[in-house]
């Protein structure tokens, strides 16, 4: 059945679609747009997209379009949280920058024009540099870089999580996104104690926040990969159920590949961090073990993606090889103070005490766990879904997927490992205008573990029939 005037899943309307040219001309795009695709990724710092236009009035020549234009549009779709309601993707206040004129396909008197666009902050990021010293918390430094009129000067909403400590840093002519990404590797969540900070943009604005913060969000959509039971009328015609269609993926595919060799090389399972203190002329060693450190911080799933069985006669697990990846890092810590920067506290100085106000780099507490986490998210339990589009869905949100065993109907047997809560790490909003206006979303969703624990078996060691090979020294 249709609901609230919605005739089919993925229906949308578009308004205020315009191109603002470098010559000052404004061209309405009503009736000219063929497709719009908007890309979001947790691993990218800005949104990008592609729009194709059917040009029957030589707008390329008359404007002209040279890759120095602005694009605005507003799209209304329906979201589903039990019932349908209207949501809007609005880029009329914060417009996109057209930066590239791609293929021009001429067919008779018409021409299909393909234009690439990106957030204005993406272009500004390539044009400016941050040369400034900061004495502040990392979250306040990030906010300044984003909003400072000398840098990114964004007017978009910001979602910034509080961080631990006051840092004194110097930005040596870094581009803004590079500086913020570097700060993300050093940030520790004030609320969660987590080192898993992400910096990305989605349709709602810019986000500088930890995975713990993202995991704690309520789910925005539920999907079931099983077949639905369709209702039919007396004539045998299928009766569409729009709400159910929104919860049924058009297609789904598991693309996770537990690559053991890659997991070892990239530090997912085990690694070592050696910190050399240039102030005290000492060093310390920190080791990471996937199983021992599995529950150090919050997770979206409770069970490891590898089995902790012993694999050899020395009773090693796959995580008991910390030297498989090593890091060496200089620091200048004096206990919990940054030995490079001191300030005099007048009240304390009367007693001859000097007090540091600045926190040292705590990368030894975060780097190993952080590298393991991101390998886990990018190469672990991953699924690609194509779904009917709703504009309330964005990168960084969570969804629930009931992954049914192949051939089972909706409500059938769920896969015990792949069913559960997922984080949206990448997506594209795809708006097609012909043969009908239809919005679909292609999304990559990930989680950092299985829903069910892998079976433990002490007899799972590598089978070896020989204790040692024969050594031949007289080889001709």
Q: Find out whether the peptide bond into 435 is cis, omega within 30 degrees of 0.
A: yes
> Residue 89 forms beta bridges with which residues?
75
Closest CA to 368 of 448, 282, 296, 449: 296
The pTM score is 0.87
Tokens of 381: 């339990």
Question: Which SS3 state, helix, strand or coil, does residue 137 take?
Answer: coil
Q: Could you report the per-residue pLDDT of 286-333, keeping only the tens digit for each?
A: 999 999 999 988 889 889 999 999 888 888 999 999 999 999 888 777
- How many other β-carbons are positioned within 10 Å of the β-carbon of residue 16? 14
The rounded distance, in Å, linking the Cα atoms of 251 and 248 is 9
Nearest of 99, 101, 135, 138 to residue 119 by alpha carbon: 99
Residue 1 has what pLDDT? 41
Would you say residue 58 has pLDDT above 90? no
Identify the pLDDT of residue 329.
82
Question: What is the C-alpha to C-alpha distance for residues 350 and 32, in angstroms, rounded to an integer?
Answer: 75
Contact 163, 187 (CB under 8 A): yes
Whole-number percent of the chain with pLDDT over 70: 85
What is the residue whose two structure tokens read 């159910």? 244
- Could you give the CA distance from residue 461 to residue 292 in angstroms, rounded to a whole number? 20
Give yes or no for residue 393 having a pLDDT over 90. yes
Could you tell me if residue 239 is left (phi over 0), alpha (psi between -120 and 50 degrees) or otherwise beta?
A: beta
Q: What are phi and psi of 121, to 5 degrees?
A: -65, -25
Provide the pLDDT confidence category of residue 373 given band limits of 50, 70 and 90.
Answer: very high
User: Residues 431, 435, 440, CA angle at the centre, nearest 5°?
Assistant: 30
pLDDT digits (tens, 9 = 90+) for 60-94: 667 788 899 999 999 998 655 445 556 789 999 99
Answer yes or no: are the C-beta atoms of 221 and 245 closer than 8 Å. Answer: no
CA–CA distance, 351 with 349 (Å, rounded to integer) = 5
- Which residue's structure tokens are 């990106």? 118
3-state helix, strand, coil in the chain (%, to 5): 15, 40, 45
| Cα 416 to Cα 15: distance, rounded to the nearest angstrom | 44
- The residue ranges of DSSP E strands in 92-154, in sequence order, are 96-107, 110-119, 130-136
pLDDT of residue 355: 46
Query: Reduced to 3 states, what is the DSSP secondary structure of residue 48?
Result: strand
Going by DSSP bridges, is the β-strand pair 13-20/197-202 parallel, antiparallel, or unpaired? unpaired
Cα separations in angstroms, 32 against 28, 112, 370, 439, 442? 9, 10, 46, 17, 24
Contact (CB, 8 A) for 126 and 45:
no
∠ CA 398-49-216, nearest 5°, is 15
Maximum average pLDDT range among 160-164, 252-256, 309-313: 160-164
What is the Cα 206 distance to its own chain's centre? Answer: 12
Confidence of residue 354 (pLDDT cuts 50, 70, 90): very low
Confidence at 134, pLDDT banded by 50, 70, 90 = very high
CB 38 within 8 Å of CB 392: no
Q: Who contacts 267 (Cβ-Cβ below 8 Å, separation ≥6)?
A: 288, 324, 325, 368, 371, 372, 375
């Amino acid at each position: 059945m249709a609901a609230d005037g919605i005739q089919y899943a993925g229906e949308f309307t578009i308004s205020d679609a315009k191109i603002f040219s470098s010559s000052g001309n404004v061209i309405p795009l009503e009736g000219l747009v063929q497709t719009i695709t908007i890309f979001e990724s947790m691993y990218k710092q800005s949104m990008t997209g592609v729009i194709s236009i059917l040009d029957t009035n030589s707008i390329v020549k008359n404007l002209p379009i040279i890759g120095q234009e602005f694009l605005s549009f507003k799209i209304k779709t329906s979201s589903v949280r039990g019932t349908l309601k209207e949501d809007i993707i609005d880029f009329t206040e914060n417009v996109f920058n057209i930066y590239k004129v791609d293929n021009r396909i001429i067919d008779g008197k018409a021409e299909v024009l393909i234009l690439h666009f990106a957030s204005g902050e993406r272009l500004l990021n390539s044009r400016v540099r941050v040369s400034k010293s900061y004495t502040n918390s990392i979250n306040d430094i990030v906010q300044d870089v984003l909003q400072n009129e000398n840098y990114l000067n964004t007017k978009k909403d910001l979602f910034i999580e509080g961080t631990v400590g006051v840092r004194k840093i110097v930005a040596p002519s870094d581009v803004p996104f590079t500086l913020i990404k570097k700060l993300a590797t050093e940030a520790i969540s004030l609320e969660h104690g987590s080192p898993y900070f992400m910096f990305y943009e989605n349709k709602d604005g810019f986000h500088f926040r930890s995975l713990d913060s993202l995991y704690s969000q309520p789910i925005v959509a539920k999907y079931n990969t099983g077949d639905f039971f369709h209702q039919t009328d007396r004539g045998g015609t299928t009766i569409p159920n729009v709400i159910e269609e929104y919860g049924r993926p058009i297609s789904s595919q598991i693309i996770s590949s537990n690559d053991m060799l890659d997991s070892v090389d990239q530090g997912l399972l085990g690694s070592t961090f050696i910190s050399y203190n240039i102030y005290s002329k000492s060093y310390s060693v920190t080791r990471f073990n996937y199983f021992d450190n599995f529950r150090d911080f919050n997770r979206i799933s409770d069970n490891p993606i590898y089995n902790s069985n012993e694999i050899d006669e020395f009773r090693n697990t796959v995580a008991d090889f910390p030297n498989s990846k090593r890091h060496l890092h200089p620091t200048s810590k004096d206990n919990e103070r940054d030995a490079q920067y001191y300030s005099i506290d007048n009240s304390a100085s009367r007693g001859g005490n000097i007090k540091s106000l600045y926190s040292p780099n705590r990368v030894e507490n975060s780097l190993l766990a952080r590298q393991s986490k991101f390998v886990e998210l990018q190469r672990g339990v991953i699924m690609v879904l194509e779904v009917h589009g709703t504009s309330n869905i964005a990168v960084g949100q969570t969804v629930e997927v009931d992954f049914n065993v192949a051939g089972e109907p909706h409500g059938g047997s769920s896969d015990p490992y792949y069913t559960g809560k997922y984080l949206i790490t990448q997506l594209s909003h795809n708006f097609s205008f012909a043969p009908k206006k239809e919005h679909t979303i292609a999304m990559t969703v990930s989680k950092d573990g299985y829903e069910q624990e892998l079976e433990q078996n002490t007899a799972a060691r590598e089978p070896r029939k020989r204790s040692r090979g024969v050594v031949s020294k007289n080889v001709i």
